[in-house]
Structure 1
Amino acid sequence: MKRPALLGTLGVVLMVGAACGIPASSDVRVDGKGGAATEAGSVDGRRSEPPSRTASGSSNEAFVRNFLSAAAGEPDRAYERVKAFILPEDRPRLQDKKGSEVALTVVRLRESVYTLNSDSTTTVKITVQQLGVLRANGTLAPPVATETEYEFRLRSGVVNGAGTDERAGLYVLDPPNVLLLSDIALQQYYKSESIYFWSSDRTRLVPDQRYLPEAVPEERRVNEVVKWLVGGPSDWLRPGVVGLPDRTELINNATGANDRWEVNLDMSGDDQNTIDQLVTQLAWSLGDLAGELELKIRNNSQPVQDLSARRAAQRLYPISENPQRFCVYEGTIRPLDFVGELSGAVPLAAEVNRGIVSASMARADNRILAAMVLTGGKSRQRLAVGTGPAPITTITRSTSEYASISRPVWLRMADSRPGRGLVVADGQLYRFDEGARMYPVPLNLPSAPVTAVAAALDGQRVALIAGGRLYVAAVNLDGGGVSIGPPRQLITSLSGLTTVDWGREDQLVVGGLAGQPAIYEISVDGVLETPLRTDVGAKVNHLAAYPTNRSVPLPSGAYMYEANGVAYRSSPLERIGLERVRDIAPPSAGVRPNNPSAPFFLY
C-alpha cells in the first residue's frame, strides 16, 4: 500500500521571561507540532518499534514526541511500553487493559508548552485535536475523549535514589490516564491496510481501512488479516456490507512458508459460492501478497488458489478504460485535450447538449450514464438524466426546480441494473434514477444543510459535506432503493469545507480553509492529512477527482477544480484555458470569452 509522506516539524521556539509571572529561575517554551521520533530508524526512515525512554537524552521536546509514540506497536505490550516512560510510583495511575480492550487515543498535536518549575521538574501542556480511538483490531473508531489539552510533568531520572543524573534520561510524572498516540506516530509505526467485505447485495468488494503495526512480522500478516475479516467490518461501514457467516472462527493460526499459505476456518454452511467469494475476499484483503492459498473449511481443503491469478480474474472495480476529461463551456459539455491522455467525443447529441451548468458521467457496460444540472427559469436549476449508448439523444428532466443543485454523482454498479445516483438540492440530499425522479434521503445528521456529496468507486461508500464538516457513510442498495447508514464525522484541521471527491479508495480530496483556501488529501478516517494546494487564493466551489485504483493506472493529473471562476488541473498544476477545449469556434474579435468551468472525468 502506498503511504502518505510524514508531515514536517515546526521548529519555532519562543522564550518568555519573568514578565509572565513565572519565577526568575523558570521559563516557558512554546513548541509547534512535533515531528517523528528521534531514535535512528530502519530503511526509509520507518521503524517497527518506537524509541526507548532514554533515546531522547535530556531533550524535553524529543522526549515528549517519543512518549506520544510509545504506545505504538502490538497491543499486548502497549501499556508496558508507555509505563517505561513513567516514574515508577506514578505508573498505577495508568490502569492496564488486556486483549481487545487495549485502545489508543489518537491525537493531532497542535502545540506544546514547557514550563520549568522551581523543583527542577518541567510542566508540559500539550494542545491536541482528538482524532479517534485505535482499537486492537486495527480500526480507528470515532473519538471518545473530549479533552483539548493534556498536562503532565517531566523529571530527570533518579539513579539509585541518590539524586538526579541527566544520563538516566527523563520520566513522566502525573501522566494522563489514557494511552496517547500522536498522528505522526501512527504514520511512522503502522501500515495502512485495506481489507474487503462483500457489499450487502454481494455484487462487489468494499474496502475497510485498518492499521497493522510495523512490528508485526510478515509471516503473521495473513493471520492478522484473517482475524480482522472474522471480526467483521468497521462500525460505520457495517450497514452497507456483509461479514462472514455468524460464528465463523479461525482454527489455529494461519500459517505459511515458501509462498504457500494455509487458512483453516470453522464456518457454517457448505455453500460453494460463498466459499468461492471468500477466496476472492482473501486474495484482495492480502493486498499484493503473492503465492498460493489453501483454504480449509473445518479441516476440509478447498482447491489451492494462486492469489495473483485470483485478483487478475476477479477485478476489484467495474472499469477498464482510461478516463477522459470534459468541461462545461458556454452551457455545453466539451472535451478537454491534454498531451498523452485519451480525449474522446462528447457522448451527448448536440440537441440535448445545452443549458448545462455541471455534469457527471459514468460508463456502465456498453452504456453511458449522464446526469446534468440545467439552467431553469428565473435563476432556478433542474436535474436532467440521460442513459444509453453514445451519443445520448434523449434526456429526462426532473419535475421540480431548485435554487441550487450540486454536481450529481452516480453510484457505480457491478451489474446491469438501472443506474442510481445522488445529488444535493437546496441543502437536502436526494437519490435519483434514470427517469430523473428525485427522492429525499434521510440522514442522521444535525440540521445543518448538506452542500456536497461524492461516491467512492465501489458505489457503497459516500462522502458528504454538511455544515462545513466532512462525513463518510455506507450505502445500502438492497430493495432497489438507496439508504445511507449513520454518517461518521471525520476530524480534520480544515474548516469551512466546500467540496469533496474520492481520490483513492482510502483517501478523499477536499477543499476548505487552512487559514486560507486550500485543497487537502484526507484519509477516510480523518487521521492522515496531506496538503495538496495551500495557495488556491479563492474558495474551491467545484472539484472532481479520478480515484487511483488497481484496475486502470492513474492518469496525469488526478483532480480538477474551479475557484473564482477559473478551472485548473493538477499534476502538473495548470489553468485550463480555451486552448485545452476541443470543438469550439475561436472567439470573435473584441469579445471576451467565458472560461471553461465544472471540469469532470468520464470513466
Structure 2
Amino acid sequence: MIGVRRVAVLLAVVLSVSACASIPESSDPRAIRAVDESNATAPVPPPPDGADPLALVRSFVNASAAPESNHESARQHLTPAARRSWTPAPGLLIVDNVDTIPATQPTPLPDGVQMVTVQADKVGRLLPDSSFVPEVGEYQAQVRVELQPDGEWRIATPQPEIVASKGSFSTVYQAVPIYFLDHDSTGIVPDVRYVVSQPASTLPRQVIDLLTSGPSAGLESAMRTAIPPGVHPKTNPTDPGDGALEVNLSDLGAIPREDRQLIAAQVVFTLQSVNNARVRLKVEGAPLLPDGKDLRPTDLDSYETNNTARPDLPGMVVVDERLLSLDTAQPIQGPAGSGEYDVLRAGQSLDGSHLAAVTRVRGGVGVELRVGRYGAQLPELPVRGADMSRPTWRGKSEVWTVVDGRNVVRALDAGNNWVLRQVDAGQLTGDGPISDLRLSRDGTRVAAVVGGRLVVAGVSEQDGQVVLQRPITLPAPGVRITGVDWLKDDSLVAISDSNITPVFEVTVDGFRWVPFTAANLGQPLKAVTVANRGRVVVSDRSGIWESKETDDVWSLVQGSIGGGSIPFFPG
C-alpha cells in the first residue's frame, strides 16, 4: 500500500492549488496492473480539514488512482452513504489539465449543498487487463458536494467510473513489459502493462499473474504463449533465503522441453523489470528444467536477440536512385548499387541476406517491387502501382509494402521464387491512405502513418490469412506525423511536419511522447530509421543526422551525402 506520508503529501500538494487552477500534470505514469489490497491494514487519512468543495473534488480525482483497500483513499472523500454504495467499474479513465468550477443551477440549492463541475482533457483508459489505450476529447461531469455535521464537505454523487489525473496515475502506477512469444514462437516480445508500484514486494506476483493470464486483449491474436491455459502460480514468488526468487507454477501437463525453455524465457524476462534476483523455476515444487539451474536473462538471451538485426550491418541509403553503403557513401555490390535499377526506396532483411527495392518501371509507368539476395539480381514481382511504401521485413523470408496507400501486400520466399499474398488491412485504412508502414522486428505488430496520424495494430494470422487487427491511433501533440520506425520492441520513433518538434520517441501504447531536440534539423524531414544500439537517424534537406538521446544535438552521419536521401537499416 502507498504509505500514509506519501498520500498525505499528495493531498497537501493538491489542496494548495487555488480553487480554479489546473492540477499540474508534469510527471509520466508508470504502468502496472492494479492489485487487490483489500486486506491492507495501514490507515488511509481523510482529506485535509477544511477543504472547500472545489479543492475536495480535485483531491478526489487525484486520490482515485490508488486502488488499495477498494479505493479507500478516494472513498474518504465521500459521504457515508456514498462510501458504502460506490462500486466503480474495473479500469479507470486518465485525464489531464483538471479544473473544478462551481456549477450553475437553474434553481437555488439547499443550504449545505454545492454542485461542482469537473473539466479535463481525456488521456486514455487503463483497461481491466492492465493495458493502456489512448482516448481523446473533453471530459466533463457534475458532482454534488454536501456539508457534513462535522463541518467538512464530502461528495454525495461520485461518478460510476474511476477518473484519475495523469499525474497521480504516474505516481501510483509503473509500466512493466510482460513477455510473450513472437509470431513464429522462436523469440519473446513485450506486452506493456501498468501495475501499482507499491508495495514493491507485490510486484513479482502481479507480473506473474499477468503473464499467466495471457496477452492483453488488443494483442491476444498477435502474440502467443507457451504457458498452458489454467496454469497459475501456486504461491507468491519468494526468496528461499539464498538470494534467489522462487516461482512455483501449477501443473503444466505433458509439454515438450522446448516449451519449458520458452516458459522459462517468458518468466525470467518478465521478472527482470521488477526484481534483479536469480530466478528459480519450479512446477508443483519440482524443477521446471532438468538441470534445475537458477536463471538470469543472460542465460536465455538468444530468445531476446532472435529478432534483432546483425550489429555489423552498416545501413544503406538511397541517393540518386542508387543504393550506397551508409558508412562509406560508396555504391553497394550488384545492380541496386550500379544504377541498373532506378531505386526509389529499399529495405534489407534483419540478417542482411536479402534486399527488397521499389523501382521505377523501365519503359513504363509507375513503380514495381523487386526482391532477391543482397548483391545479386532482384527479380521483379507481379505487383505494380503509382507508388509503394518503403519495404519492411518480417525475418528474412517475408517482406511487406503498401501499394498506392491502400493495398498492403507481402512477398513470401517460396524457395525458387517469391509469391505475393494480400494482407487484410481494412481496419487500418478506414481513416485515410497509408504513407508509411513498419513491421516490428518480432513480427507481431505494425506501426503505420495513416492520414498523417500514427497507428499501431496487431498482426494476426487466421486460417492462412494475415489480418491487421484492432488498430489504435496514438494521438500526436498537435503535429502531423510523416514517418515512423521501431526504436525498440515497446517504443517507436516518429517524425512530424513541425519545426519545433520534428522527432518524437513514443511508447508503443501512446502514453508518452518525448520530443527530440530540433537543433540542426530542417523541414521537411525525408525519412527516419533506427540504427544499431538505438541510434535514431533522419534525413532532411541538408543531410543525414543521428541522435542517441532525445536531448542530444543532432550530428551529421555522413557529410558527403547530401539532403533528400533515404537512409535505412535492416528491418
TM-score bracket for the superposition, by shorter chain length: 0.7 to 0.9
- SS state of the match for residue 384, structure 2? coil
- SS state of the match for residue 240, structure 1? coil
Q: Please give the root-mean-square deviation of Cα atoms over the aligned residues, in Å.
A: 3.9
- Shift, 1:52, TM fit: 5.9
The letter for the 1-side match of 2:432 is: A
- SS state of the match for residue 579, structure 1? coil
1:197 aligns with 2:180: yes
Map residues 543-582 of structure 1 onto 2, 5 A cutoff.
543-546=528-531, 553-554=533-534, 558-563=535-540, 567-571=544-548, 572-574=552-554, 576=556, 579-581=559-561
CA separation of 1:526 and 1:61: change in aligned 2, threshold 3 A:
farther
The letter for the 1-side match of 2:321 is: G
Provide the residue aligned with 1:549 in structure 2: none
1:233 aligns with 2:218: no
- SS state of the match for residue 537, structure 2? strand
CA separation of 1:34 and 1:241: change in aligned 2, threshold 3 A:
closer
Provide the residue aligned with 2:300 in structure 1: 311
Provide the residue aligned with 1:455 in structure 2: 439
Provide the residue aligned with 2:139 in structure 1: 149
Contact residue 410 and residue 422 of structure 1 kept, 8 A: no
- SS state of the match for residue 209, structure 2? helix
- The Cα offsets for residues 73-116 of structure 1, whole Å up to 9 and x where unpaired, read as 4x45343222123344544673256xxxx322223x14635348
Provide the residue aligned with 2:404 in structure 1: 425
Q: Distance in 1 between matches of 2:331 and 2:54?
A: 58
- SS state of the match for residue 241, structure 1? coil
Provide the residue aligned with 2:345 in structure 1: 358
Contact residue 360 and residue 600 of structure 1 kept, 8 A: yes
Contact residue 72 and residue 185 of structure 1 kept, 8 A: yes
1:530 aligns with 2:530: no
- SS state of the match for residue 426, structure 1? coil
Q: Distance in 2 between matches of 1:481 and 1:563?
A: 38
Map residues 113-262 of structure 1 onto 2, 5 A cutoff.
114-115=101-102, 123-135=116-128, 137-140=129-132, 148-152=138-142, 161=149, 163=151, 171-172=154-155, 174-218=157-201, 220-243=202-225, 244-257=227-240, 258-262=243-247
Map residues 78-93 of structure 1 onto 2, 5 A cutoff.
78-91=70-83
The letter for the 2-side match of 1:81 is: S
1:504 aligns with 2:488: yes
Q: Distance in 2 between matches of 1:527 and 1:157?
A: 38
Larger deviation, residues 64-73 vs 27-36:
27-36
- SS state of the match for residue 68, structure 1? helix
- SS state of the match for residue 82, structure 1? helix
CA separation of 1:595 and 1:130: change in aligned 2, threshold 3 A:
closer
Contact residue 517 and residue 537 of structure 1 kept, 8 A: no
- SS state of the match for residue 306, structure 1? coil
The letter for the 1-side match of 2:211 is: L
Q: Distance in 1 between matches of 2:70 and 2:512?
A: 22
- SS state of the match for residue 242, structure 1? coil
The letter for the 2-side match of 1:507 is: S
- Shift, 1:278, TM fit: 0.9
- The Cα offsets for residues 433-459 of structure 1, whole Å up to 9 and x where unpaired, read as 355654331124226322221121212
- Shift, 1:395, TM fit: 0.9
Q: Distance in 1 between matches of 2:249 and 2:435?
A: 47
Q: Distance in 1 between matches of 2:331 and 2:69?
A: 59
Q: Distance in 2 between matches of 1:53 and 1:532?
A: 42
- SS state of the match for residue 382, structure 2? coil
1:94 aligns with 2:86: yes
Q: Distance in 2 between matches of 1:506 and 1:519?
A: 17
TM-score with structure 2 length normalisation? 0.77
1:267 aligns with 2:252: yes
Q: Distance in 2 between matches of 1:491 and 1:62?
A: 30
Provide the residue aligned with 1:34 in structure 2: 25
CA separation of 1:157 and 1:495: change in aligned 2, threshold 3 A:
farther
Contact residue 65 and residue 168 of structure 2 kept, 8 A: yes
CA separation of 1:334 and 1:234: change in aligned 2, threshold 3 A:
same
CA separation of 1:149 and 1:221: change in aligned 2, threshold 3 A:
closer
CA separation of 1:147 and 1:482: change in aligned 2, threshold 3 A:
closer
Provide the residue aligned with 2:323 in structure 1: 333
Provide the residue aligned with 1:40 in structure 2: none
Of residues 484, 487, 493 in structure 1, which corresponds to 2:468? 484
The letter for the 2-side match of 1:148 is: E
Of residues 54, 57, 62 in structure 2, which corresponds to 1:69? 62
CA separation of 1:105 and 1:493: change in aligned 2, threshold 3 A:
same
Q: Distance in 1 between matches of 2:498 and 2:97?
A: 14
Contact residue 91 and residue 125 of structure 2 kept, 8 A: no
Q: Distance in 1 between matches of 2:162 and 2:183?
A: 36
The letter for the 1-side match of 2:218 is: W
1:404 aligns with 2:387: yes
The letter for the 2-side match of 1:300 is: A
Contact residue 461 and residue 467 of structure 2 kept, 8 A: yes
Q: Distance in 2 between matches of 1:513 and 1:84?
A: 47
How many residues of Structure 1 are paired with residues of Structure 2 in the alignment?
Answer: 516
- Shift, 1:179, TM fit: 0.8
Q: Distance in 1 between matches of 2:312 and 2:92?
A: 41
Contact residue 577 and residue 595 of structure 1 kept, 8 A: no
The letter for the 2-side match of 1:103 is: G
- SS state of the match for residue 250, structure 1? coil
Contact residue 472 and residue 488 of structure 1 kept, 8 A: yes
| Percent identity for Structure 1 against Structure 2 | 19
Contact residue 502 and residue 508 of structure 1 kept, 8 A: yes
Of residues 443, 457, 461 in structure 2, which corresponds to 1:473? 457
- Shift, 1:496, TM fit: 3.5
CA separation of 1:488 and 1:35: change in aligned 2, threshold 3 A:
closer
CA separation of 1:485 and 1:352: change in aligned 2, threshold 3 A:
farther
- The Cα offsets for residues 326-374 of structure 1, whole Å up to 9 and x where unpaired, read as 322222222334xxxx99983545436652222221342xx52212222
- Shift, 1:596, TM fit: 4.5
Q: Distance in 2 between matches of 1:316 and 1:132?
A: 32
- Shift, 1:32, TM fit: 7.5
Provide the residue aligned with 1:22 in structure 2: none
- Shift, 1:533, TM fit: 4.7
The letter for the 2-side match of 1:574 is: W
Contact residue 53 and residue 116 of structure 2 kept, 8 A: no
The letter for the 1-side match of 2:343 is: I
- Shift, 1:31, TM fit: 3.5
- Structure 1 unaligned spans of 5+: 1-26, 38-48, 165-169, 547-551, 582-593
- Shift, 1:232, TM fit: 0.8
TM-score with structure 1 length normalisation? 0.73
CA separation of 1:196 and 1:577: change in aligned 2, threshold 3 A:
closer
Q: Distance in 2 between matches of 1:495 and 1:461?
A: 23
Provide the residue aligned with 1:17 in structure 2: none
- The Cα offsets for residues 515-548 of structure 1, whole Å up to 9 and x where unpaired, read as 97643222222222222257876454522224xx
Q: Distance in 2 between matches of 1:90 and 1:448?
A: 46
Of residues 369, 372, 386 in structure 1, which corresponds to 2:372? 386
The letter for the 1-side match of 2:368 is: R
- The Cα offsets for residues 166-193 of structure 1, whole Å up to 9 and x where unpaired, read as xxxx754543221112333333222211
Contact residue 497 and residue 523 of structure 2 kept, 8 A: no
Larger deviation, residues 277-286 vs 480-489:
480-489
- Structure 2 unaligned spans of 5+: 1-17, 29-41
